């Protein structure tokens, strides 16, 4: 959208040269009265905003309303009308974006940056068409039926699964791969910005034809039918993708009817179902995403399985790939053969090979991150969905941080919320003696700001690299977990490092970083073998994290070990006794300790649990470990 003088011009829908699947989804959303919401995901500069804003030009009879980034709850849903409260002493609901949007289109850019409770209320209003406001002595409910078109950049933070599920459709924008198309996109953009009025005028006939077709399809879609047996086929596909609930099934049916109506047909066919599944199920699928959706038979039960697994873009669950992070090599095991003979050999380039490993040492590859159910979930720990998005947040007691609300103060007020105090005092002005003042605020009207500050987390993995970690290839899963956590570091603003202790020392093989490439290079060459100098690992970890505790950063040490320390730090001292005394000395240093027990087999000594108790940390078991299990469990433990 550009402004020419006092007029605003929106880029015409028919002038968009790429992203055909998202464009098809927009037409579907406008053609179906039962489709209430769609999400447009993609990297920056791929046309998400242009596509969202162009919806208004396809439905000129429906007014477009934009929720700006940083909008308050009062702006979106309504609050007390301050003018009437001050002038008449009345508690009346103020005008709001959703109150004015009945029958229109609401655009919410960067929905993932919106406070989660606000996004939840917005999607709930979209689904129910009803908004209830209860605040500042007001209790009111009003109706608002609108289409929500939201955008997000996955690399700026993910949406939780329960919010994603509330979107009827989710599509993915991407830059054109064809050079000619890419050039057309650039040329169109230049033409629009140089002469917006002329550009819009050149596409006016096409826009009018598109708008008419959508209006006709909207009227027809109410009467478009789904053939018998297709509903069961869609349910089978949703079940195969582990789609939770029935929102996905219903959305596919509504979109299939709209696609048929757009094609001037009264009965949906298999292609309509496939198109609908590709835009309605990808963000809801809970399988591993590695296999395409289950195909349905060609004749009677054929359905949308094939194409739902390969949409134009990525699944929101694949946060590392969406956020623009580099995919660092294949996920299969990269076990390498070790040259134990010690003979020097030359590489084809003439360079000497790396030093030969000890015959007892072995290098394991970096394992995959498999989705698992988090066995640590408890009501007091909060849902796992809250873990995605940004760095950890906590309430600020001072004046630092972003204001997220206000409260009635308890005791002395350190940070007065002036606007909230005025709103609280407004209904009482008619009965108060003003004495020449515009407004009188009494002590009972005062409100205090509630602030929130973001905290980064420096996570240091202190890993047992002794020979016992080679059993069952546990080092493969450990490396995969670290890489998985690192891929999420951009969104969480975390730094992740790694210390490996083995033989008679502890080495920092990866200093705290957010670089996946550096992490991958460091992790894939970590050898396993030798004795277990656990004390050295604890002290090395404290040396690295000791100075990182602050208001803005929380250090966390994740120790992966079975607790069987057999190397002393001080000569002559029993290793286990010195390990526990060292752990007790480290507790209370401002570091969050998480001990992951790698002990396996029937005979267990519980030494890792003793270590955790001495550290005052959180204890997790490593049984049936996979990379994502560590990632989710550690993230929940850090947020405790």
3-state secondary structure 19-39: CHHHHHHHHHHHHCCCCCEEE
pLDDT bracket for residue 399 (50, 70, 90): low
The whole-number average pLDDT for the span 382-411 is 57
pLDDT at 315: 38
- Is 260:224 a contact under the CB 8 Å cutoff? yes
Q: Which two three-digit tokens encode residue 136?
A: 């500042």
pLDDT bracket for residue 143 (50, 70, 90): very high
Classify domain 363-391+454-639 at the CATH topology level. Rossmann fold (3.40.50)
Strand stretches in 439-566, DSSP E:
448-464, 495-502, 505-513, 527-528, 553-561
pLDDT at 458: 83
pLDDT bracket for residue 444 (50, 70, 90): confident
Q: Which two three-digit tokens encode residue 165?
A: 């599920």
Is pLDDT above 60 for 466?
yes
- List, for residues 170-205, the tens digit of each pLDDT value: 999 988 888 998 999 999 999 999 999 999 999 999
Picking from 208, 218, 230, 286, the residue whose alpha carbon sits closest to that of residue 35 is 218
pLDDT bracket for residue 339 (50, 70, 90): very low
CA dist., res. 152 & res. 42, Å (int): 7
Strand stretches in 42-119, DSSP E:
64-67, 105-108
Task: Provide the CA 516 distance to its chain's centre, in angstroms.
Answer: 18
Place domain 9-181 in its CATH homologous superfamily.
Answer: P-loop containing nucleotide triphosphate hydrolases (3.40.50.300)
Picking from 320, 25, 12, the residue whose alpha carbon sits closest to that of residue 172 is 25
3-state class (DSSP) for residue 457? strand
3-state class (DSSP) for residue 587? coil
Residue span(s) of the chain under CATH 3.40.50.410 come to: 363-391+454-639
Residue span(s) of the chain under CATH 1.10.8.80 come to: 225-308
Q: Which two three-digit tokens encode residue 260?
A: 């048929």
Residue 132 bridge partners (DSSP)? 141
Q: What are the φ and ψ backbone dihedral angles of 78, each rounded to 5 degrees?
A: 110, 155
Average pLDDT, the chain: 76
274 or 363, which is more confident: 274
The lowest-confidence range among 344-358, 438-452, 595-609 is: 344-358
Q: What are the φ and ψ backbone dihedral angles of 553, each rounded to 5 degrees?
A: -140, 135
- List, for residues 43-69, the tens digit of each pLDDT value: 888 999 999 999 988 999 999 999 988
Classify domain 225-308 at the CATH topology level. Helicase, Ruva Protein; domain 3 (1.10.8)
pLDDT at 79: 84
- List, for residues 475-517, the tens digit of each pLDDT value: 676 666 666 666 665 556 677 788 888 888 888 888 887 776 6
Please compute Rg for the chain using Cα positions. 29
* Sign of the C-alpha dihedral computed for residues 485, 490, 491 and 497 taken in this order: positive
Instruction: Count CB-CB contacts under 10 A for residue 8.
Output: 11
Strand stretches in 114-179, DSSP E:
130-135, 138-143, 147-152, 169-172
Is pLDDT above 90 for 635?
no
pLDDT at 623: 59
Is pLDDT above 50 for 301?
no
Residue span(s) of the chain under CATH 3.40.50.300 come to: 9-181
Picking from 215, 169, 166, 171, the residue whose alpha carbon sits closest to that of residue 30 is 215
pLDDT bracket for residue 398 (50, 70, 90): low
Buried b (16+ CB within 10 A) or exposed e, 371-401: bbebebeeeeeeebeebbbebbbeebeeeeb
CA dist., res. 217 & res. 262, Å (int): 5
Is pLDDT above 90 for 213?
yes
What proportion of the chain, given as a percentage, has pLDDT over 70?
Answer: 71
Picking from 206, 476, 162, 484, the residue whose alpha carbon sits closest to that of residue 325 is 484
């Amino acid at each position: 959208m550009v402004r020419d003088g006092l007029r605003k011009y929106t880029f015409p829908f028919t002038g968009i040269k790429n992203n055909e699947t998202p464009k098809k989804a927009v037409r579907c959303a406008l053609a179906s009265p039962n489709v209430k919401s769609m999400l447009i995901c993609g990297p920056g500069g791929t046309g998400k905003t242009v596509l969202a804003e162009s919806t208004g030009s396809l439905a000129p009879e429906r007014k477009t309303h934009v929720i700006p980034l940083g909008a308050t709850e009062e702006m979106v849903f309504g609050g007390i009308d301050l003018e009437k409260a001050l002038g008449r002493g009345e508690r009346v609901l103020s005008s709001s974006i959703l109150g004015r949007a009945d029958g229109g289109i609401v655009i919410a850019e960067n929905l993932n940056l919106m406070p989660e409770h606000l996004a939840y209320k917005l999607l709930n209003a979209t689904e129910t068409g009803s908004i209830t406001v209860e605040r500042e002595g007001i209790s009111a409910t009003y109706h608002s039926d609108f289409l929500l078109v939201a955008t997000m950049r996955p690399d700026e933070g993910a949406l939780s699964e329960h919010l994603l599920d509330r979107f009827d459709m989710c599509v993915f924008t991407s830059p054109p791969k064809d050079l000619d198309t890419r050039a057309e996109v650039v040329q169109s953009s230049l033409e629009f910005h140089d002469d917006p009025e002329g550009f819009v005028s050149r596409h006016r006939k096409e826009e009018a034809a598109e708008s008419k077709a959508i209006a006709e399809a909207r009227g027809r879609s109410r009467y478009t039918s789904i053939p018998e047996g297709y509903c069961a086929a869609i349910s089978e596909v949703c079940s195969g993708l582990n789609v939770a609930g029935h929102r996905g099934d219903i959305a596919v049916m509504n979109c299939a009817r709209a696609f048929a109506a757009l094609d001037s047909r009264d009965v949906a066919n298999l292609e309509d179902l496939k198109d609908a599944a590709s835009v309605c199920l990808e963000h809801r699928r809970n399988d591993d995403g590695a296999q395409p959706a289950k195909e349905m038979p060609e004749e009677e039960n054929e359905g949308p399985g094939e194409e739902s697994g390969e949409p134009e873009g990525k699944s929101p669950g694949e946060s590392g790939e969406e956020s623009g992070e580099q995919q660092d090599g294949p996920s299969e095991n990269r076990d390498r053969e070790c040259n134990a003979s010690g003979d020097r050999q030359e590489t084809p380039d003439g360079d000497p090979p790396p030093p030969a490993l000890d015959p007892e040492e072995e290098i394991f590859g970096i394992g995959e991150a498999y989705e698992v159910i988090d066995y640590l979930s408890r009501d007091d720990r909060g849902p796992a969905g809250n873990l995605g998005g940004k760095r950890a947040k906590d309430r600020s007691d001072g004046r630092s941080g972003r204001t997220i609300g206000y409260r009635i103060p308890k005791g002395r007020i350190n940070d007065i919320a002036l606007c909230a105090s005025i709103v609280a005092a407004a209904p009482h002005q008619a009965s108060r003696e003003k004495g020449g003042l515009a407004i009188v605020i009494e002590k009972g009207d005062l409100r205090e700001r509630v602030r929130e500050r973001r905290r980064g987390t420096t996570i240091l993995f202190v890993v047992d690299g002794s020979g016992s970690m080679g059993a069952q290839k546990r080092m493969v899963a450990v490396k995969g977990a670290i890489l998985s956590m690192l891929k999420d570091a951009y969104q969480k603003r975390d730094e992740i490092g790694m210390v490996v202790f083995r033989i008679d020392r502890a080495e920092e093989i990866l200093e705290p970083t957010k670089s996946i490439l550096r992490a991958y290079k460091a992790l894939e060459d970590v050898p396993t073998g030798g004795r277990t100098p656990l004390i050295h690992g604890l002290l090395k970890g404290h040396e690295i994290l000791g100075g990182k505790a602050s208001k803005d950063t929380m250090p966390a040490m994740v120790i992966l070990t079975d607790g069987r320390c057999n190397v002393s730090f001080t000569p002559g001292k029993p290793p286990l006794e010195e390990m526990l005394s060292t752990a007790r000395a480290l507790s209370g240093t401002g570091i969050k300790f998480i001990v992951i027990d790698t002990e396996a087999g029937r005979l267990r000594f519980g030494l890792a649990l003793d270590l955790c108790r001495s550290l005052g940390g959180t204890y997790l078991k490593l049984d049936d470990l996979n990379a994502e299990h560590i990632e989710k469990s550690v993230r929940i433990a850090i947020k405790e």
